[in-house]
Amino acid sequence: MIKHFRIAGLLRTKLEESGVNVPAVLRRAGLPQDIFDQTRVLVTTEELFALWHAIAHVSGDPAIALKLATEDRIARFHPSGIAALSTENFGAAVEHMGRYKKLSVPEEIVHDRDGEEWAIQFRWTLAVDAEPHVLIEHCFAWLLTIARHGSGTRISPLRASVAR
């Protein structure tokens, strides 16, 4: 069973570009100050949640998740995002990313389409505590980034409903 998440080094870059004090985030999360200097940054679910709680607190920006998930340069995409762009439609892209997550991290993407409505849920399979709202917002914003790049248009959801 997979027990760790891999944190992309690009997260530090995106935090810095957004004006977020990275050492303060790491301190608040209880993570080593040199964690982003490692070749492979692996964290547990609890550490991942602590990191995202810290990002929300230190940034003080209610839109930080959206800023961190929005990316215009495909060259900075995670490989799974690039592969998702190669699928035939958004549904196939979500399926692809769901398979990737199931194979590589303790997280699932659960989705169901009913006519014009599409319900998508992120589930952290080893979570003991509730997931940070900023992490959920980041995940949905990343899906929107994939949809926009894949469609070549500035699409927007008709409605978003988040249960907290």
Is the separation of the CB atoms in 137 and 39 below 8 Å?
A: no
What is the predicted pLDDT for the residue at 1? 74
What is the predicted pLDDT for the residue at 75? 83
What is the predicted pLDDT for the residue at 156? 79
What is the predicted pLDDT for the residue at 50? 98
Instruction: State the number of CA atoms in the 13 A half-sphere of 121 facing the CB.
Output: 11
What is the predicted pLDDT for the residue at 41? 94
What is the predicted pLDDT for the residue at 46? 97
Q: How far apart are CA 25 and CA 163, in angstroms?
A: 26
The structure tokens listed for 152 are: 């070549």
What is the predicted pLDDT for the residue at 133? 94
Q: Which domains does the chain have, with CATH numbers?
A: 5-151 (3.90.1520.10)
3-state secondary structure 69-95: HCCCCHHHCCHHHHHHHCCCCHHHHHH
What is the predicted pLDDT for the residue at 84? 86
* Mean pLDDT of each 10-residue bin along the chain, 164 residues long: 90 96 98 95 97 98 94 83 86 90 92 84 94 94 88 79 62
What is the predicted pLDDT for the residue at 162? 64
What is the predicted pLDDT for the residue at 157? 79
CA 27 → CA 21, 22, 24, 33, 61, distances in Å? 10, 9, 5, 7, 18
What is the predicted pLDDT for the residue at 163? 60
What is the predicted pLDDT for the residue at 164? 54
